[in-house]
Structure 1
Amino acid sequence: MTTIDREFIGIPSPAVGRAGAGGHPLQGIYHTPAGRRPRTAFIASHYNVDFSEHYMATRMAARGYGFLGWNTRFRGAEHLFSLDHALAEIGVGVRLLRDRGVETVVLLGNSGGGSLMAAYHSQSREPNIRPPYGRSKVFEPALHLPPGDLMVFLAAHPGRPEWITRTMDPSMVDETDPNSVDPELDMYDPRHGGSYSEDFLARYRAAQIERNHRLTAWCKEQLDAARDRPARDRIFTMGRTWADPRYVDASIDPSKRPTPLCYFGDPKRANYGVMGVGMVNTMRTWLNMFSLQESDCVATPHLARLDLPTLVVQPDADSGVFPNDAQGLYDGAATADKEFVTLPGDHYFAEPDGARDAVAETLAGWLSGRAQP
């Protein structure tokens, strides 16, 4: 059995230095085969989830590759996220790998990290992201990003704005009252059943987009009104974000996923709970991350610049990333060198037994003709 070295890394960000209590803003763990300096290494990062001990890290290191589970300073701080700062901080991780002798850097976009890594590659090829609402310039270090060499999408979402919109509950008529409901748009109302009509779905999807646009307009109005005030931004909550009809109706975008189910269990209960993506935001961050109109945290435009060899791996029983999402990533990738693989597993390949090893073997097999460990 291969022995794995784990190197903890804590370093400053281009934006902020070490905290007074001692913590560094950028932290991660570099996994390598013991005593070796791999020529090929992965870097995995996310908008806010801790990827330092990612489930693929030791598996890829056991197969001869390096794996940097890399956290920007927004780990656990989604409500403060800024895309240009995050990309600059991922760039620090890529440079770190190059400094350790890595010749081939594999950008691993897992879950929400898919659109983040797509944006990173896109920005490294041609600076294109917009500054956050209310700022005139993109953070300078984000204009000079070191490129990666290969791209892997693993159970990846199409982008934060698209994902949050498709899971928003459009029946919420009052953003300040999580119990407010328009029954005509309530997917959990028994009258609509667990198998939805095309008419209902069309009205439902349109109302989800309308809710996103409504929140965008409100955030802009609030920020514009406060531009010359002492408090120029503030925290707000966004309720009811577990309401994608695919959680309940298995005939929509069919797969082997169980229903009803979302990442927090029973979707109706989760929808009225306080756990979930995007529940707490500043207005500026909401525009930067979730707005269909303002956010660059989307994969689609960035995929048009994706000229790297690309692998898309989709679990066959994912309860939150669906076959059409993965197909969209594959179809949208501009590169001619791309492959799409569906493997048994849930979102994190925690089940069935051996699912994560099957992913590792798939990644290693794909890399074998493209890079040396």
Structure 2
Amino acid sequence: MQEITREFVGLASPLVGRAGAGGHPCQGIYHRPKGHRPTTAFIATHYNVDFSEHYLASYLAERGYGFLGWNTRFRGNEPYFLLDHALAEIGVGVRWLKEVAGVERVVLLGNSGGGSLMAAYQSQAVEPNVLPTAGARPVEAIQHLDEGDLFVALAAHSGRPEVLTNWMDPSVTDETDALSVDPDLDPFGPRNPAPYDEEFQRRYRAAQRARNERITDWALERLDALRGTRARDQLFQLHRTWADLRMIDPAIEPSDRRPNWCYLGEPARANYGMFGIGTLSTLRTWLSMWSLRTSQCIAAPHLARITVPSLVVHATADACVYDSDADALFRHLAAPDKRLETVKSDHYLQEPDDTRSLAADLVANWVAQRTP
């Protein structure tokens, strides 16, 4: 087995200074074969998950590639996320690969939620289009980003606003009360037992979108009300975000996934727990990341600007990324050279035991066919 060198990389951000305790805003770990400087390297970043020790990093380094598991200052800091700021800090990592690591070709790896984020990065690099959120100042650093040479979407969601909306429990009647419920829309209540009929599914999906829109209305109104006060923004909570009907009812978009299951276990229990996406947010972060109306974290428009060779890898037993998500990602990609592949595994490629190695072979071989 190839021995791997791991190098910590801490870099400045074009937007904020180094922390008083000494930490750099942009941080990650560069993986490469020991004694070798790869000419092709991957970079993977997520909206808030720490990707510095990404599960494919060592596998791809063993196959001769560099892999920068890269974090912006929003790692573990989702409530304050702003897309334009994150793109500028991803650009710092891409530039380091080219100018310091000596890489000639960069592969943008969009894994899980990072699929739409890395798509947005390439989209902005190709054709600047990302705007500041709700009156914030433009970020000059995103006007001249280095483009990626290839794009890989792995077990990727279709975009933050769509994911949150699809997972939202629309039976919430009072956003300040985690227990408030409309029994006619409650997916876990006695009035609506699974399997769900088509009429209930239609009502439910419409109510999910309506809940997202109500929160957007409130966020815009609240920002308006803050003008001229001492506060520029505020935090707020979001309750119950583990209620996609597909998590509960396996008959909706059948796949190899475990029925009545989500990333945090049984949906009914997870939905009333403390952990979930979007549970805490500022007004501007809601508008930047979660709002169906205003967010630029929707993958489709960005994928339409990606023309470099592209690979979509879908895990067929993924609890919360479905066949339709992978199909949509593949369909929206503008790349003339694009491929859709599947692996029979869960979201993190943990089972069966050899899945990560097989996925690394798949990705590495695809890249090798497209690089000198």
Q: Which residue of 2 is the match for residue 227 of structure 1?
A: 227
Over residues 97-149 of structure 1, what are the superposed CA-to-partner deviations in whole Å (9 max), with x where a residue is unaligned? 101221110000000000000000000011111211122x4211011111000
Q: What residue identity is the alignment partner of 2:126?
A: R
Distance in 2, matches of 1:243 and 1:31, equals 37
Q: How does 1:34-53 map to 2 (within 5 A)?
A: 34-53=34-53
Q: Is the 8 A contact 2:119 2:303 kept in 1?
A: yes
Q: Which residue of 2 is the match for residue 249 of structure 1?
A: 249
Q: CA RMSD in A?
A: 0.8
SS at 1:41's partner residue?
A: strand
SS at 2:31's partner residue?
A: strand
Q: Which residue of 1 is the match for residue 145 of structure 2?
A: 145
Of all paired residues, the percent bearing the same amino acid is 59
Q: What residue identity is the alignment partner of 2:110?
A: G
Q: Is the 8 A contact 2:111 2:155 kept in 1?
A: yes
Over residues 219-252 of structure 1, what are the superposed CA-to-partner deviations in whole Å (9 max), with x where a residue is unaligned? 0000001011001211110000000000011111
- The answer to whether structure 1 residue 114 and structure 2 residue 115 are counterparts is yes
Deviation at 1:313, TM superposition (A): 0.3
Q: What residue identity is the alignment partner of 2:113?
A: G
Deviation at 1:214, TM superposition (A): 0.2
Distance in 1, matches of 2:61 and 2:173, equals 50
Compare 66-75 and 16-25 and name the one that shifted more.
16-25
- The answer to whether structure 1 residue 358 and structure 2 residue 358 are counterparts is yes
TM-score (norm 1): 0.98
Distance in 1, matches of 2:44 and 2:360, equals 14
Over residues 312-350 of structure 1, what are the superposed CA-to-partner deviations in whole Å (9 max), with x where a residue is unaligned? 000010001111001100011011210001101100001
Distance in 1, matches of 2:7 and 2:211, equals 45
Q: Which residue of 1 is the match for residue 23 of structure 2?
A: 23
TM-score (norm 2): 0.99
Q: Which residue of 1 is the match for residue 70 of structure 2?
A: 70
Distance in 1, matches of 2:253 and 2:91, equals 35
Distance in 2, matches of 1:76 and 1:219, equals 23
Q: What residue identity is the alignment partner of 1:250?
A: P
SS at 1:9's partner residue?
A: strand
Distance in 2, matches of 1:186 and 1:177, equals 15
Distance in 1, matches of 2:159 and 2:70, equals 19
SS at 2:184's partner residue?
A: helix
Q: Is the 8 A contact 2:125 2:144 kept in 1?
A: yes
Q: Which residue of 1 is the match for residue 133 of structure 2?
A: 132
Q: Which residue of 1 is the match for residue 208 of structure 2?
A: 208
Q: Which residue of 1 is the match for residue 371 of structure 2?
A: 371
Q: How does 1:1-373 map to 2 (within 5 A)?
A: 1-99=1-99, 100-135=101-136, 137-372=137-372
Q: What residue identity is the alignment partner of 1:11?
A: L
- Aligned residue pairs total 371
Q: Is the 8 A contact 2:44 2:109 kept in 1?
A: yes
Distance in 1, matches of 2:197 and 2:130, equals 38
Over residues 23-75 of structure 1, what are the superposed CA-to-partner deviations in whole Å (9 max), with x where a residue is unaligned? 11110000000011101000000000000000000000000000000000000
Unaligned runs of 5+ in 1: none
Question: Structure 1 segments of 4 or more deviating over 3 A?
Answer: none
Q: What residue identity is the alignment partner of 1:247?
A: M
Distance in 2, matches of 1:13 and 1:7, equals 19
Q: Is the 8 A contact 2:184 2:191 kept in 1?
A: no
Deviation at 1:262, TM superposition (A): 0.4
Q: What residue identity is the alignment partner of 2:220?
A: K
